[in-house]
Amino acid sequence: MDKRAQLLLANNHRENAVLMGTFKRFLEDQKGLKLLMLLRGKQDGQLKKVEFEILNRWKKEYKNRVLAHFYKLNQWAESNLQASGVTMVTFTTYQTGYSATQQFELLKANYRKLRDNMRKELGKFQYVWVTEPHKTGYAHIHMLAFCEISQAQQEKFKRLWSEKYSAGDYEHGLNFSDYISKENLRSVKNYLMKYVTKSLEDFADLGTRIYNAVAWNMSRRSNTESTGFRFYGMSRDLTTACKLDKSDEQKYQCLSMNLVRPERRVSFPNKYFNDRGYKVWFVMPSEKVNIYRTGDIERLQTAYKTLSFDLTV
């Protein structure tokens, strides 16, 4: 680790230590946490008991869900990338003078500004992006833009990033790869999953622990100063194309709910909820073992079901 990175870690040691400690307690508290529900089908009136794990972004089910989306993306790329290829763009901000949380906000806000400007300049184009931690725990973004970006356009975007937005310097703030043809882009999925896996699994690395702790803290509902931090995203058309299949379309009314930990059970009465619909992700226990053993793509895509509950007072 270079001296600059060491200095950044030293200057933010106290804040990072607090966040990592709180994040560690969150992960420990989530272990073994399950939800038991008694449901009534709105169409057939049948009662149904379901038990599923409470998921978060640091459980293997989340990574499998991301992988299922990227399988869909790979299929889309095979069908739609004919004459066009891909330009890879890396977004990097200043780090010195910013805490990790401040840098995340700086990156998120200015990425959105430049992305919108790219849409105006390039016209409608499809894209997918993922975040990755630097060794200091600070984040940068990798975008796959399914279009060609000319040298003149690259220069314009670099000036916007460095001069108008003051997000990063001209030389290193934005990096554009050489244009990659469809033939040379062997697998979109593998490229993207490389960064997602690194971000979510390499907890032996200090930078990765800081990165995940900051992302978790920014996404807490109790944190009113932030709108959250996502690890990946897609353009609207790609989001639609990569939706996972739903194998259970019936809506249910929740009659009772129990939050179960290994050592105790807590019941939530219906008055705990308001009258909005909730969507809950879960994996059916009968399918989970087979999926992980077979690695079957189609079953992986359909294993995640969304139940829309009418949780009434």
Full DSSP string of 222-283? T-TT-----SEEE-HHHHHHTPPP-S----EEEEEEEEE-SS-EEEE-GGGS-SSEEEEEEE
Token duo for residue 48: 């149904």
Pairing of strands 87-91, 252-260: unpaired
Tokens 């932030």, residue located: 226
170 SS3 class: coil
Q: What is the dihedral of CA 149, 137, 166, 126, to 10 degrees?
A: 30
pLDDT attached to residue 68: 87
Among the listed ranges 51-55, 190-194, 239-243, 276-280, which one has the minimum average pLDDT value? 276-280
Tokens 């910013």, residue located: 98
Count other C-beta atoms under 10 Å from residue 133's C-beta: 24
pLDDT higher than threshold 60 for residue 196:
yes
Rounded Cα distance between 100 and 108, Å, is: 12
- Strand pairing partners for 29? none
- pLDDT, tens digit (0-9, with 9 covering 90-100), for 66-84: 888 888 888 888 777 765 6
Question: pTM to 2 decimals?
Answer: 0.77
Plot region of 137 (φ>0 → left; ψ -120 to 50 → alpha; else → beta): left
Q: Is the separation of the CB atoms in 211 and 199 below 8 Å?
A: yes
The residues, any chain, with a CB within 8 Å of residue 224's CB and separated by 6 or more, are: none
- Reported as type and span, the H/E element at residue 309 is strand 304-310
205 SS3 class: coil
What residue spans define the domains of the chain? 34-57+245-310, 61-241
- pLDDT, tens digit (0-9, with 9 covering 90-100), for 15-43: 888 899 999 888 888 887 777 878 887 78
pLDDT higher than threshold 80 for residue 89:
yes
